[in-house]
Structure 1
Amino acid sequence: MQSYQGTYSYDSPDNVQPAEVTVTSKRIEIHLKDADGNPRTVFWYWYNVVQGKQNTLHHTGLPLQTLHVPSYEFAAIVLQRTKRRPSNPLMTIAGIGLFIIALIAAAWFWLLPYAAGRVANALPVEYEVKFGEQSYNALIKDFKILPQQTELVNQFYKELNISSVYPVKITVVEKTETNAFAIPGGHIVVFSGLLQQMQHPEELAALLAHEYSHVQLRHTTRSLVQSVGTYAMISMVFGDVTGLGAVFLENAHTLKSLEYSRKLEKEADLNGLQLLQQRNINGEGYIWLFNTLKKDSGSGSVTSEWLSSHPDLDNRVKYVKSKLVGVAPMPVSGPIQDIWKQLKTDY
């Protein structure tokens, strides 16, 4: 049976993976591999297939599915099969209805991130700080704060000398998981389990630069707006920032596992890397941090929440390494090294 190479996306335009495609008289068979490398097959029956542009096909069902096969032979087969499909008015109406729903879903996946970015950028900094403070106060009740480590990590961050319109405050909490997360307006929460696993001060510098970048670039606000959806959009359209604050507060618990798109993660990585390089701090801290997270996740001894919400580490290692070519590593300053030693004496 003839097979064709293409790409398949499911649920989101960011979720694209390579696919081997075969065709039968009844359906298109899309052969994929899951995250563990195990084979799986998706079946598209001809009555669910809608042709798009440039060798692209869409499935009329939900979630949104798209198949792209750059083959004229495959396109000819698809054209022949869809033309030969028997006409059924009820199926046609149902297909049109499902396709409209699919278009609405596509608009949701493509337009919502754009709209969320516009809402986040339109929010005044003082409101973002206020909402972030309220969210932090609601969220931190679930954690045990470690005062000594919190003071040391804030001193460490201060030595990075990063100026900001946001009042950056870092809190270390007692949790064995390897996780850290940013809150709109400047709060960063670091789990003690992550600090314990770090071996180099550059790792902590990379982590703080990364999480700060999410704050500076308003990724956290943007992703939170996107996650709470329509109500947040309406609140901003009608100028109801109080209503938006209530939405933020009600969803504060989602911040510790808030997921960012690959695009936003790359922006935070590269912005953070630039911050480190401007301060003559070895950017390999990113590589060491990623390897620490991968090692801990693979061992099964540590639950890496940060890893689950910051995926695709292998690719991120590659593009960070590409930015380090020809850059001579620099040792961290004496004060940073001293603070790091004090911090690690507790572990």
Structure 2
Amino acid sequence: MRYSNPHLPASEYTANNKHELREMFKLLVIAILIIAGVVFLIDRLVYLFSPYIPFSWESTLVENIPLINKNIEQKHTDIKALKQEKMLQKRVDIIASNMNLPKDMKITAHYLEGATVNAFATLGGHVFVYHGMLEKIKYQEELDALLAHEIAHVYKRHITQQMSRAILISVILTTAKLNHSGFGRWLLGDGSNIGLLAYSRVAEQESDENACHISLKLHGHTQGVVKLMQQLNLVAQQQGYEWTKSHPDTKSRILFAQQYRLGEQKLKPMKLLF
């Protein structure tokens, strides 16, 4: 005698399929939530504890990052470029001496050719300023505000935090073999950027506050910070969304700097630095 499965009515068969799909969907959602929760929890721990990583480790790590190392080892032969870099280092030393930096935290200034209107800090206390940025700056107080802002990124260990978080997320997803999945690509890409964006804006606000405090200490006012933010506001208008992805609204930054301003003291032209 041959056995065969009983024939189920169509309605019962459809109901079973729907039930199984619902259960599978629930399990998938639960798995995604657990993975996201674990990543978020570890991410927060890394963000909180990464500032305690010895600063000397940063300097060692920089030597193994070709892109950063290439800019650090760049030697200028042009007299004007050498003069610019020497001037930047002088201002950096003055600003650093007015901050409570750890003894092993050395800040090194670098001048970069190019029309890019930007400045940035990297691991190991290296601060880079593009020629295009210097062309936009008219006053000493503006330059000091810019450098104080970038030095704050080093001092507050913002770069260490961001890099540690990015590496962590990548390692977790690679270990879980999710780095090539749609969810993994989203978390490594847009999903991760959402978190990085929130933290980077907090970092920018902390650095703005440091720029204001240093400006008050060195110059007695924050007009240099205001002037700098007005220049950056013009850049934001030109670059649009790309700038606002990683920077707070420049108008709010101007208002923040203006609340510290004490008096209308005359600003010193940049040419006096040479």
Partner of 2:71: 140
Partner of 2:119: 180
Sort the Cα spacing of 1:226 and 1:296 in 2 relative to 1 into closer, same or farther, 3 A: same
Q: Which runs of 4+ in 1 moved over 6 A?
A: 141-144, 303-307
Contact 1:281 1:331 in 2 (8 A): no
Contact 2:110 2:127 in 1 (8 A): yes
Superposed, 1:81-160 pairs within 5 Å as: 88-109=19-40, 111-118=42-49, 120-132=50-62, 135=65, 138-140=69-71, 145=76, 146-160=81-95
Superposed, 1:1-347 pairs within 5 Å as: 88-109=19-40, 111-118=42-49, 120-132=50-62, 135=65, 138-140=69-71, 145=76, 146-160=81-95, 161-163=97-99, 164-165=101-102, 166-230=105-169, 261-299=200-238, 309-322=246-259, 324=260, 327-331=262-266, 337=268, 340-341=270-271
Q: CA deviation at 1:204?
A: 1.0
Give a deviation string over 1:111-163, Cα, whole Å, max 9, x none.
41431331x22321222233345547624179785321101111223333435
Separation in 1, partners of 2:237, 2:201: 22
Separation in 2, partners of 1:149, 1:185: 21
Contact 1:281 1:329 in 2 (8 A): no
Separation in 1, partners of 2:25, 2:73: 48
Percent same amino acid among aligned pairs? Answer: 25
Separation in 1, partners of 2:87, 2:212: 22
Q: SS where residue 59 of structure 2 aligns?
A: helix
Deviates more, 1:149-158 or 1:166-175: 149-158
Separation in 1, partners of 2:74, 2:159: 20
Q: SS where residue 170 of structure 1 aligns?
A: strand
Separation in 2, partners of 1:91, 1:305: 40
Unaligned runs of 5+ in 2: 1-17, 173-195
Separation in 1, partners of 2:265, 2:210: 18
- Give 1 or 2: higher helix fraction: 2
Contact 1:178 1:306 in 2 (8 A): no
Sort the Cα spacing of 1:154 and 1:308 in 2 relative to 1 into closer, same or farther, 3 A: farther
Separation in 1, partners of 2:24, 2:244: 44
Q: CA deviation at 1:304?
A: 11
| Pairwise CA RMSD | 3.4
Question: Aligned AA for 2:60?
Answer: K
Unaligned runs of 5+ in 1: 1-86, 234-257
Q: CA deviation at 1:266?
A: 1.4
Question: Aligned AA for 1:318?
Answer: L
Q: SS where residue 71 of structure 2 aligns?
A: helix
Sort the Cα spacing of 1:99 and 1:231 in 2 relative to 1 into closer, same or farther, 3 A: closer
Aligned residues: 224
Separation in 2, partners of 1:107, 1:182: 30
Partner of 2:15: none
Contact 1:290 1:313 in 2 (8 A): yes
- The structure with the larger Rg is 2
More RCO (CA 8 Å, sep 6+): 2
Give a deviation string over 1:44-93, Cα, whole Å, max 9, x none.
xxxxxxxxxxxxxxxxxxxxxxxxxxxxxxxxxxxxxxxxxxx8342243
Separation in 2, partners of 1:103, 1:291: 44
Give a deviation string over 1:8-28, Cα, whole Å, max 9, x none.
xxxxxxxxxxxxxxxxxxxxx
